[in-house]
Amino acid sequence: MVFDGARGARATVVIEGDRVRQVVPDEGDVEVAAGEIVDVSGKTVLPGLIDLHVHSLSVAGPYAYHDSDLHLEDHTKAMLRSGVTSYLDLGSPQRAIFEQRARARAGEVLAPQVFAAGPLLTATGGHPCYHGSPPGDFCLFIDSPADVAGAFEALLPGAPDFIKIVLEPGGSRPLPRLSPASVASIAQAAGAAGIPVIAHVAEADDIEVALDAGVTLFAHMPDLDLISPELASRMAAAGAVIVPTLSVMDGLYRVADGALDALDDPALRDDVPADVIAALRDPSLLADITTARYREIVKGSRDRAIANLVTLRQAGVTVAAGTDAGNPAVFHGLALRREIALLVEAGMPPIDALAAATRAAADVLGRPDLGRIEEGALADVLVVDGDPLADVRALERVSRVYKSGVLLDRDALALPRGASLARQPRAGAGPGDTCLAAPECGDALSCSPDQRCAATCGGPSGCAPGSACLHDGGSPTGGSCVAGDGCDLFAQGCANGAACVFLGNGATSCWYAGAGSGGQPCDALFTCAPGSVCDERSGTCEDLCDPRGERAGACPGGRKCVDRSSIAGLPVGVCE
């Protein structure tokens, strides 16, 4: 059986090089001049699957779980093993994801076809760069149309495949939002640059704002309210496409309900890092998302998202598949099977659900050579046991995966095997060069957390003044010297309400702000409110002060300013 992206029929598929040469109907004759004949009787041949919403570097553990390791290669292997041969990254640090895209396109690394948006456009303090977090290279803030030109000057050198805007009211916690005027200005700038815009939406009003600006591509099915038939008809008339990502709320609900049966399957370790599986079993990390109240909230969100999918399909709105992989229990590669099954559970015929993850998704990417089994298409091919047109669970029984006409060794790609995806291993990169793993950097250099080759260090004294030794548990070299940004510990003033902290060795940097101060407990990430620093030994927040008394920051309540200059490398103290 061959599913070509639109319909199914018995046929023979001929691959030559990296392309599909012929699809010969069952009654036709195929002349074999050379090559290999592969018997796939009892199996189904499909186009490689396409996931239109991936966070390549995010692990699928609980929100309270934080992993400093770069799992990009692990996630890439899992997608390939599942037959996901193309994906759109809609939220990863741009230095890493644009480098991965470049290497994949150059054939330096075995990977799916990579498409990426790079930094997200959101209001200051908006989703996902909430107030108190440094934006880094993850978000660009748009608070008025006047900010758009500068944002595009920063965006365009990275050649993003899409521009992602965030329209998110925040539910129970209202968030700053892009204004309609800003959305219109972004859409106009993107149109001039020839880059499509995809809008993250959470409620019906978000869709209205986007449509008014001419944006017709939507990430997520709104789950805060219900879409009216009138809005659905407007979307259909505009040619809108929605990527529902039902997997997100489904995953959260299954975590909250204790229904993650997949964790008991030993085979899961072939595709999901063992520490992520362990984190999803850890009650201390699940406390916030396993309460009865949270379960009620996510069930309501899931139910509304499914109801909205039904409404949009009845109106004729195009559905394309994406998972939001990297959220809790939304595992890279594996989640797309779950997404397709959820579409079917919501009433889509299996053939339409499969088309959403192949042909329709390829059309969103503007790549008519993907998501199809037809003459001239790229030979990204998935072979499964059984017939997913009758039962989409057949996608779980992967028999073969071809990437650009080459049969992959799925067993070798299982995570415990530790195989490398590098076809042209890199080595000898210099200071400041982009890296995706420590071995890529030259002598005495390691790959820093911001994916730059930097001096290797074992402690503060191993770095030049103004840079700190940051340890990375995933790096064989232990740590790397990272330059601070020079923020003022007393004036604070970091963008987006982030906190200026000292890192040691004369380095200061804007970092995530917590809530605690004056002896209160540090937050989970050892963070405190701006103007305070976390004492990791006691787990409490200590207010900053000037031991010389030359600047503002005297200790209130009769507390004493204890000099920490020898640790910080700067004239600073803490109140005790």
Asked if residue 10 belongs to a domain, the reply is no
Asked if residue 394 belongs to a domain, the reply is no
| Rounded mean pLDDT, 532-547 | 91
Quick check: 474 pLDDT over 70?
no
Residues 204, 224, single domain; the answer is yes
| Rounded mean pLDDT, 224-231 | 97
Residues 110, 158, single domain; the answer is yes
Query: Which tokens hold the place of 157?
Result: 């050198």
The 10s digit of each residue's pLDDT in 414-432 is: 999 999 999 999 999 999 9
Residues 197, 319, single domain; the answer is yes
User: Side chain identity at 348, as an amino acid letter?
Assistant: M
Among 43-57, 134-148, 200-214, the range scoring the smallest mean pLDDT is: 134-148
Distance CA 455, CA 542 (A): 31
Distance CA 545, CA 518 (A): 12
Q: How many domains does the chain have?
A: 3
Question: Which 8-state DSSP code applies to residue 351?
Answer: H
Q: Is 277 helix (H, G, I), strand (E, B) or coil?
A: helix
Asked if residue 407 belongs to a domain, the reply is no
Residues 225, 255, single domain; the answer is yes
Name the band, by pLDDT with cuts 50, 70 and 90, for residue 302. very high
Asked if residue 385 belongs to a domain, the reply is no
Residues 564, 451, single domain; the answer is no
Asked if residue 289 belongs to a domain, the reply is yes
Asked if residue 471 belongs to a domain, the reply is yes
Residues 535, 565, single domain; the answer is yes
Asked if residue 20 belongs to a domain, the reply is no
Distance CA 83, CA 46 (A): 9
| Rounded mean pLDDT, 548-562 | 78
Q: How many CA atoms lie within 13 A of 233 on its CB side?
A: 3
Residues 307, 448, single domain; the answer is no
Residues 228, 322, single domain; the answer is yes
Whether the CB-CB separation of 243 and 53 falls below 8 Å is answered with yes
Whether the CB-CB separation of 104 and 113 falls below 8 Å is answered with yes
Distance CA 302, CA 191 (A): 33
Quick check: 471 pLDDT over 80?
no
| Rounded mean pLDDT, 261-268 | 92
> Which of 483, 516, 538 marks a domain boundary?
483
| Rounded mean pLDDT, 199-223 | 97
Per-residue 3-state assignment (H helix, E strand, C coil) for 204-215: HHHHHHHHHCCC
266: buried, middle or exposed (CB in 10 Å: 19+, 13-18, 0-12)?
A: exposed
Distance CA 163, CA 177 (A): 17
Number of H helices, E strands in the chain: 15, 28
> Which of 370, 386, 409 marks a domain boundary?
370
Name the band, by pLDDT with cuts 50, 70 and 90, for residue 458. confident
Residues 169, 58, single domain; the answer is yes
Asked if residue 316 belongs to a domain, the reply is yes
According to DSSP, the β-strands at 406-407 and 398-403 are: antiparallel
The range of the structural domain enclosing residue 528 comes to 495-575
Query: Which tokens hold the place of 156?
Result: 């365009």
Q: What is the pLDDT of residue 552?
A: 57
Whether the CB-CB separation of 182 and 147 falls below 8 Å is answered with yes
The 10s digit of each residue's pLDDT in 148-162 is: 999 999 999 999 999
| Rounded mean pLDDT, 95-116 | 96
Residues 453, 473, single domain; the answer is yes
Residues 350, 474, single domain; the answer is no
Q: What is the pLDDT of residue 475?
A: 55
Quick check: 530 pLDDT over 90?
yes
- Closest by CA to 173, choosing from 125, 244, 124, 227, is 125
Name the band, by pLDDT with cuts 50, 70 and 90, for residue 437. confident
Tell me the CATH number at 94.
3.20.20.140
User: Side chain identity at 208, as an amino acid letter?
Assistant: E
Residues 464, 568, single domain; the answer is no
> Which of 483, 505, 520 marks a domain boundary?
483
| Rounded mean pLDDT, 109-123 | 97
